[in-house]
Structure 1
Amino acid sequence: MNSSDLFRFLKARSSVREYSGEPLDPEDIEYILAAASTAPSAGNREAWDVVVVTDEDIRLELALAALEQVHVRDAPAVFVVCANYVRSMTQYGERGILYAVEDAAIACTYMMLAAHARDLHSCWTGAFEEDEVRELLGLPQHIRPVALLAVGKGTPPLEPMKRMPVDEHVHRETW
């Protein structure tokens, strides 16, 4: 893949909130998880974990915890990507909390791109009640849910989202 191919690939991905309901192939799930395991992480601590949710009842409960965002219910799979503080704090102390959240975010990004590479669609959902998700999935206290990644075959938007010009984000040398 050359740089032009990569840029086209990245621009073609979009958040999708409407899914066909067709189940994911187990090979797709394993591919997405394998891609996450290649993500860089602070000190190679890999301070992330994921709960794969395909059960319809649990997806419904996740959607309710996600402020009733129905795409979480409708996607055939939801990857609940979590920060694992213990893995990074053992090496970095309090700073390890931030590193674990960063590790989870990078792993989730890789998962989202892996889904796109498999001609699947996804939507990163960050708005949810953490305590409800924690209780629903039985997460230990040192595990923080960071994102709900809904994945499935969906209907992408007809028009790409308008993006800010890159120069509005960039500061050179100083602010």
Structure 2
Amino acid sequence: MESSEFLGFLQSRGSVRSYTGEQIAREEVEYILRAASTCPTAGNREAWDVIICRQEDLLEAIADAAFSQDFIGGAGTAFVICANYVRSMSRYGERGILYAVQDATIAGTYMMLAAHVLRRATCWIGAFDEEEMKEILGIPPHVRPVVILLIGEGKEQAASPERMPIHEHMHEDYW
């Protein structure tokens, strides 16, 4: 892939908030997880886990926990990506908490891009009540839900929002 093709691929991805409700196929789930398993992690601890949610009532409960973002209920498939503190803290102590969140975020990004390769619509959701999500999904105390990633068949085309010029993000040598 040429660098311009890669940049075009990234620019063609955008968040979709309207879905047909169709679940993604098991083969697609496995492809997405294989892609995520290649992501870099702190000390190769792979301090992330994912819960694949497909049940309609479960998706509706997740939507409620996400401050009533009702479109979640119609997505068909949601990946709840979690940071598993124990894996990272066993080597890095308290600093491992940060590393686990970073690992989960990188894995989620790889999942989102793998879904985009499959021409699936995605939406990254970070706004939710963590304690409610942990209760709904039976997540243990040493694991933190970091993101809900919707993956499915969109009813609309993804639209990439206007972005800041790159120079507004950049600092050379010092802030």
Structure 2, gaps ≥5 residues long: none
Residue in structure 2 matched with residue 104 of structure 1 by the alignment: 104
Paired position in structure 2 for 1:71: 71
* Counterpart contact for 2:50–2:80, Cα < 8 Å: yes
Alignment partner, residue 53 of structure 1? 53
- Superposition TM-score, scaled by structure 1 size: 0.97
Task: Please tell me whether the aligned partners of residues 32 and 111 of structure 1 are also in contact (alpha carbons under 8 angstroms).
Answer: yes
Q: CA deviation at 1:160?
A: 3.0
Verify: 1:19 aligned to 2:19, yes or no.
yes
Q: How many residue pairs get matched?
A: 174
CA distance in 1, matches of 2:48, 2:167: 32
Q: Is the 8 A contact 1:123 1:150 kept in 2?
A: yes
- 1:71·1:150 contact (CA, 8 Å) conserved in 2? no
Q: Which amino acid aligns with 1:174?
A: Y
- Cα distance between partner residues in 2 of 1:170 and 1:76: 39
Alignment of 1:156-175 (within 5 A): 156-157=157-158, 159-175=159-175
Distance in structure 1 (CA, Å) of the matches to 2:59 and 2:157 = 21
Q: TM-score, normalised by structure 2?
A: 0.97
Q: Contact 2:105–2:146 at 8 Å: present in 1 too? A: yes
CA drift of 1:113 comes to: 0.2
Distance between the aligned counterparts of 1:48 and 1:23, measured in 2? 23
Deviations 1:24-61 (A, max 9, x none): 11111111111111110000000000000001110000
CA–CA separation in structure 1 for the residues paired with 2:88 and 2:122: 28
Question: Shift of residue 97 of structure 1?
Answer: 0.1
Contact 2:15 2:160 in 1 (8 A): no
RMSD: 0.8
Runs of 4+ in 1 over 4 A off after TM superposition: none
5+ residue gaps, structure 1, are none
Identity rate, percent: 55
